[in-house]
Copies of this chain bind each other. A is one copy, B any other.
Amino acid sequence: MASDKTARRPKAETPKGFRDYFGAEVTERKAMLDAIAEVYHRYGFEALETSAVETVEALGKFLPDVDRPNEGVFGWQDEDKDWLALRYDLTAPLARVAAQFRNDLPSPYRRYAMGPVWRNEKPGPGRFRQFYQCDADTVGAPSVAADAEICAMLSDALETVGIPRGDYVIRVNNRKVLNGVMEVAGVLDPADPSKFEAERGIVLRAIDKIDRLGEDGVRALLGAGRKDESGDFTKGAGLSEAQAEVVMGFVGANERVTQLLARQQDVAFGMGDEQQTRELGYAAGLGVPGIAKKEKGNIPDASFNLRNRKTLEYLLELVGPSEVGKQGVEELLEISRLLAAQGYGPDRIIIDPGVVRGLGYYTGPVFEAELTFEILDEKGRKRSFGSVAGGGRYDDLVKRFTGQAVPATGVSIGVDRLLAALRAKGRMGGEAAGPVVVTVMDRDRMADYFAMASDLRKSNIRAEVYLGNPKNFGNQLKYADKRASPVAVIQGSAEREKGTVILKDLILGAKIAESATLEEWKDRPAQVEVPRADLVAAVRKMLGQ
């Protein structure tokens, strides 16, 4: 049994669900965020840093993911009995700032924010209670031009941090189109928008799960309900088969468009050249009826994409007489035009009805950035990497405070997932370079060793003196190894008398130790002795600088 005295010692542990980040884990994330901030800044966005603590009143009682009711915040009462809490995202504080400083901020207000957020939810493997978010939002811009700008900026940000074109795609949809579909399906009454709210919530969450549940699972949730493998029953939206059919037409829009395009290609000229296909599409008058007027104008035809056009046509058909639905399709068309004018083609940003995004508060365009390359999952199966960023328009968030609706749109980048992607692509996580370690042979001559390290640092070489107990020299080399040190500097009394230092090439040394034969290394000595005056030059050479 532990003695009383031992029992009273505090445990050296992070709280459950929290973790520490060491060395390159910190600096690599920082480098990524710095690169993204530079892109945001170039687009005219301004930095904003709110404090971690907000009043619970300002945060609001809702958390973004309404389908996970266990989620909560970390909160406490202050000395005046007001409830305070740690922010759970960067959007709620933005809404508070936009309301609090509405007379001082420029309008529209473009801002970016980066920092940790906290969620009081059950921790799990890879699921932490503190994590980073990286957001950019435009407050006070009613037109979808603001949404288009966010999409272009997201594309630039991904390429800047090292996701090459072709390895990602940004999918854009519009909640208004979905609302049009809901109208046609009979679960949205434009005259009384509060009617069928529960049903629409179920529909929204069901179609957001298409990848996981498949078509049959979604159909079950649209109808009576669904029993999962464990036997748990989830209540459905109660739609009739005809109603469900309309919704499924939306869910399957992407596939349907692919079929339409393939058929048309076959008819026209078999599996021909893409450019020809596109031109033929235009020649065949595949204009979207009712919005053809706007399409002509300043956009060169060649920049317009057949697939986007076909998708919009199909959606327009789907929303039929719904006014909000038609408006939604028009907005998507406008976004396509603005992006095309800047050269953001469908190789980077496409219209995709498959993007729903679960959050209830989106009111217009929604978007999601997906990485398209494959990685191996924990079971060794190939899987596509998936979503790393998402956002959309949420026109009602500031209204809570002021009573006035303020349009807003924005994006949030999943910092940890994007970092994981960069590491998977080998764009980050290379061996971090440790410092040159100046070893200590004679503890009375620390001043000499300090002067060596100082000389190296003055030449911008990372360097340090060994500061542990110098008695056991082997420990010093073990330390250098643990630090991933490239070079060890040694000066014993013999070298001191000759005015020299010994340099050990630790990277080469490790390679020689691994290798069966010394043959390939024989031209490059793992250790050299040089005059003290040549220390910096010789280290530089060993580092390959």
Contact = CB atoms under 8 A, between A and B. Distances in A.
B26 A48 contact: yes
A326 to B, nearest CB: 19
A159 to B, nearest CB: 12
B403 A9 contact: yes
Contacts of A446: 143, 145, 334, 338
Contacts of A148: 450
A423 interface: no
Contacts of A55: 10-11, 13, 15
Contacts of A9: 400-403
A402 B402 CA distance: 54
A90 interface: no
A394 to B, nearest CB: 16
Nearest to A59: B10
Contacts of A44: 434-435, 437, 462-464, 483
A43 B148 CA distance: 45
Given A20-B97, A53-B130, A116-B52, A107 B468 contact: yes
Interface in A402-452: 402-403, 434-435, 437, 443-448, 450-451
Interface centre among A74, A82, A298, A467 (most CB of B within 10 A): A467
Given A11-B55, A22-B46, A43-B464, A341 B450 contact: yes
Contacts of A530: none
Contacts of A118: 52-53
A123 to B, nearest CB: 11
Most B CB within 10 A of own CB, among A57, A299, A468? A468
A106 interface: yes
Contacts of A372: none
A101 B468 CA distance: 17
B400 A57 contact: no
A145 B465 contact: yes
A19 interface: yes
B58 A10 contact: yes
A75 B76 contact: yes
Given A27-B47, A130-B51, A444-B297, A149 B6 contact: no
Contact of A52 (B130, B434, B450): B130
Contacts of A270: none
Contacts of A403: 6, 9
A298 B447 contact: yes
Contact of A464 (B110, B448, B457, B469): B110
A423 B26 CA distance: 28
The CB with the most chain B CB atoms within 10 A, among A338, A402, A403, A483, is that of A338
Nearest to A440: B145
B451 A58 contact: no
Interface size class of A (residues with CB under 8 A): 35 or more
Interface stretch (A134-142, A182-190, A377-385, A531-539): A134-142
A16 B55 CA distance: 9
A402 B12 contact: yes
A467 B145 contact: yes
Nearest to A107: B468
A446 B146 CA distance: 11
A78 interface: yes
Contact of A51 (B18, B99, B342): B18
Contacts of A100: 12-14
A2 B3 CA distance: 64
Contacts of A53: 15, 18, 74, 118, 129-130
A222 B232 CA distance: 74
B141 A468 contact: yes
A143 B468 CA distance: 8
Interface string A469-499: 1000000000100110000000000000000
Interface in A201-250: none
Contacts of A483: 44, 106
Contacts of A164: none
A171 interface: no
A471 to B, nearest CB: 12
A360 interface: no
B43 A22 contact: no
Nearest to A39: B457
A407 to B, nearest CB: 10
A20 B42 contact: no
A463 B27 CA distance: 29
Nearest to A98: B12
Contacts of A57: 10-11
Given A12-B58, A16-B80, A140-B468, 9 more contacts: A12-B99, A21-B47, A22-B47, A42-B463, A44-B462, A143-B446, A299-B447, A334-B446, A341-B450
26 contacts: A10-B55, A11-B57, A12-B99, A12-B100, A13-B55, A14-B100, A15-B53, A15-B84, A20-B50, A26-B49, A42-B463, A44-B464, A52-B86, A52-B116, A52-B118, A53-B118, A53-B129, A75-B76, A106-B482, A141-B468, A145-B446, A149-B467, A298-B447, A334-B446, A338-B447, A342-B450
